[in-house]
Structures are given as C-alpha cells and as structure tokens.
Amino acid sequence: MQNKIIQHKNKILSKEIQLIMDKFNIVGFQAAAVLKDKLIWSDAYGYRNLETKELVTENTMFRIASISKLFTATAIMQLVERKLIDLNQDISHYLGFKVRNPKFRNSSITLRQILTHTSSLNSDDASNSVYAKYIKDGHSDFSLQLTELLDENGKYFTKEIWGDWKPGDQWMYSNIGAIICGAIIEKVTKLRFDQYIKQNIFEPLEMKNVAFSYANFNKSHELANLYEKNKDTNEYKVSIDDIRQSGYSKNHWDQYIIGKHGGLFEPQGGLRTSAVELSKFLRVHMLSGSLNGHQILEQKTSKLMTSIQWSREENNHFFSKMGLGFHISHDFLPGYKEMIGHAGEAYGLISNLYWHEEKQFGMIFILNGCQFELSEDSRLEVEKELAEIIYKHIIEERLLNQL
C-alpha cells in the first residue's frame, strides 16, 4: 500500500514537472533531493541530445557551470587547513608574480577577497569575458601563463578586467578569480588541478560520473549537450557539444606546466557531473565536512565556508550574501530566508544546488536548455517553480513527519 502511495505521488510530481518543462520549453532536466545524510529522490526528464532524441538519465553528466566554483573553493580551504596557504596573504606570494589592480597599486589582493568576490576583479560583461579566449588558446599553447591575463603587458590583459574600486571595498562576481585559485592550488600542491580535485574530493566522496573539463572523460560517461535558443528562429542550437567530445590521449598533458595557466580545467565552470553525484557534495557540506565516514573538511572549516562573509542590506539582488565561495540565497524557496549553495547559468544551462542548514534538506536540479530572460535582481521563474514543486512533493511531508 505504501509503495502505491509513493508511486501515485511521484506520478503527480512528474506531471507537474512536465508542465513546467512545456511552459519553459526545457530540453532536458535532472534533479535530486536529500534529507540529512540520505538521497531521498532523483529523476530525469527530456533529452540530452535533441538531434538523436537520446534521453537524459540519472547518470547523464552536464557541464554544471558555476557550481564548479564550490569544488575550487573547497580545495582552497583544504589547503588552508594544511597551512599551505593563508586566506589573508597576498596572492602574489603564491603565484610568483605581482598581482595588482592598476588603479590601486598599493593594495594587495587576498584569497578571502577572491572567494567572496570582493577582490576588485570586474564582471565578465565589463571585460568581455576575455578569460574564455585565454582558456581556449591555452589548450593549443601550454606555454601560455597567467601573467598574460593579469599583467598590464600581457597579451590578454585589458584594463576592464579590474574595477574602479579598491580591493575589499565592493562586490562584483568574477570568473577570473576561480582561475587564479586553480593556479594557486597547482602551485602549492604540485599537482594538476583535476588530479588534486579527484584525489581529495571526488574519490573520498565516491563521486564517479565526474570530470573537470575534458581531462577525465571515458567511454562509460553519458554526456549531455547544452542548448541556447535562437531568438530570431525560436529554435535551439547546440552551444556545448559534449556528446561528440572524447577524452584526451594519455600523453596529452606531458608538456603541461603545473601552476602556470590556471584555467585549462575550467575551475570557474567546467565540471561535468550529474545531480545524483552532486548530492554527495551537497551532503558533505551540509553535514559539516563529513559523509559516510569520509571527511573532506574539518567541521569548523565547513562552517566558516557557509557563514556570512559579505552582505549588503538591499535584497533586490540575486547575490545579497556570500560565504567563502558559497552563495547564501534569500529567494531560492519561499519561507526560507537563507539557503546555502550556488547556481550556474552558461551556454543555455541552468543549475542549482542549495540546502537549508537548520532543517538539513537540500535539492539539486540541472537544465540543459530553457526559455528564460536573465535578471540581475532575482532568481529565474523556472528555478522558483521547480524548487517549489520538488519541495512540496518530496521534502515537505518528510519534514513534517520528523516533528
């Protein structure tokens, strides 16, 4: 009888999800929900490949965009625990060259500022996402170094990389900060970024369907394409063609110089994984650094990462509070003023990973193509609607049963 009730509820949820998919013209969708240390639900809908109509499954891996930054931030904090780096130290100390906002040459820049997006690095819009070309060119030229992006005489440097405000004075979301973190992780560990993350986060959490950029793809991986809608034709076009990608050859990285580039594994947004795999990462942070007997952070470090490090009074912004790498959201779910995690949006993809600290529930969902209009002021309507129905059908009753 109980199984029939659960099946009936899941059918209702699936119908509501399908209505949202139709409303927002969603290509493919994957989601998971957790309560305390348990994965309590996961499902998949739609297509990972529109052309062949191959379906999304719970094993499908998506490029999850900026949720990737949480893995980069976690790696930084592991190294803080090991006393290999200090959050308040000038990043120049680790990179081996001087990094300054040219408008404030006497002000050093720290990892604490980078993790809270207060380093005075400017937005992608202002700098025309110059970092993306720097990454792309780096794959064909392993001699390319971070100085070419950050130094005033560098090939990719533009004055718009930096804001008109002093480091520490103002918040501005930056992808370049994560690339700097990637280089520092390599410098102090003497490991490639992807190798460090694999050994210190993926393997302890038993995350298997995971790969940063294309470095660790294998034949067993089931990948999804990303799609953007052409506003003129109202048709979807492939923006990231992961399905046709293959892993690098064994000797591909032989000439790679550890710690020099920082961006080739895309620490700012290049992680490929699934909602189920991400649920392990969510739970380990929600449970203060330890999951199923595997500890990736000390409790005090995990708490520090998710505590408010920066905030502004106005709530008419998507970002109003930040931890160390983590976004503390005020508008993810009605009735919950603070939920911790991060969102991603790039190349048509939308991704969300958030949990509630006190009640210890969380959810993840990933969309590989959707009809939406970006807003700096608030969360997208499709995100709000999906979060609400997952909460209503999967989480709410379980929370009531605990009372």
1-15, 161-175, 284-298: the lowest-pLDDT one: 1-15
Q: What is the pLDDT of residues 213-248, one digit of tens each?
A: 787 788 779 999 999 998 888 899 999 999 998 778
pTM for this entry: 0.96
> Cα separation of 101 and 109, whole Å?
8
Extended beta strands in 172-246, E state = 210-212, 226-230, 235-240
In a domain, 40, yes or no: yes
- Give the per-residue pLDDT at 306: 97
- Give the per-residue pLDDT at 258: 97
Mean pLDDT along residues 184-201:
98
> Cα separation of 148 and 143, whole Å?
10
> Cα separation of 115 and 128, whole Å?
21
> Cα separation of 252 and 271, whole Å?
19
Q: Helix, strand or coil for residue 160?
A: helix
H helices of 267-358, in order, are 275-286, 299-306
Take residue 233 and report the two structure tokens written for it: 């034709």
H-helix or E-strand containing 77? helix 68-81
Strands 290-291 and 294-295: antiparallel
Tokens 């969102």, residue located = 343
pLDDT above 80 for 314: no
Take residue 167 and report the two structure tokens written for it: 């480091």
Sign of torsion, CA 254 259 263 267?
A: positive
CB 305 within 8 A of CB 323: yes
Mean pLDDT along residues 372-378:
72
**Number of domains composing the chain:** 1
CB 253 within 8 A of CB 195: no
> Cα separation of 137 and 147, whole Å?
14
In a domain, 251, yes or no: no
Half-sphere exposure of 58 (CA within 13 A, CB side): 10
- Give the per-residue pLDDT at 85: 97
Mean pLDDT along residues 292-309:
96
> Cα separation of 99 and 399, whole Å?
49
Q: Helix, strand or coil for residue 329?
A: strand
- Give the per-residue pLDDT at 3: 62
CB 282 within 8 A of CB 157: no
Output the CA torsion 241→49→347→181 (10° steps).
Answer: -60
- Give the per-residue pLDDT at 403: 64
Q: What is the pLDDT of residues 44-102, one digit of tens each?
A: 999 999 999 999 999 999 999 999 999 999 999 999 999 999 999 999 999 999 999 99
In a domain, 60, yes or no: yes
Q: Which domain holds residue 191?
A: 2-245+261-401
In a domain, 253, yes or no: no
Mean pLDDT along residues 347-362:
97
In a domain, 176, yes or no: yes
> Cα separation of 86 and 294, whole Å?
25
Q: Can you give the CATH number for the domain in which 74 is found?
A: 3.40.710.10
pLDDT above 80 for 369: yes
Mean pLDDT along residues 144-153:
97
- Give the per-residue pLDDT at 215: 77
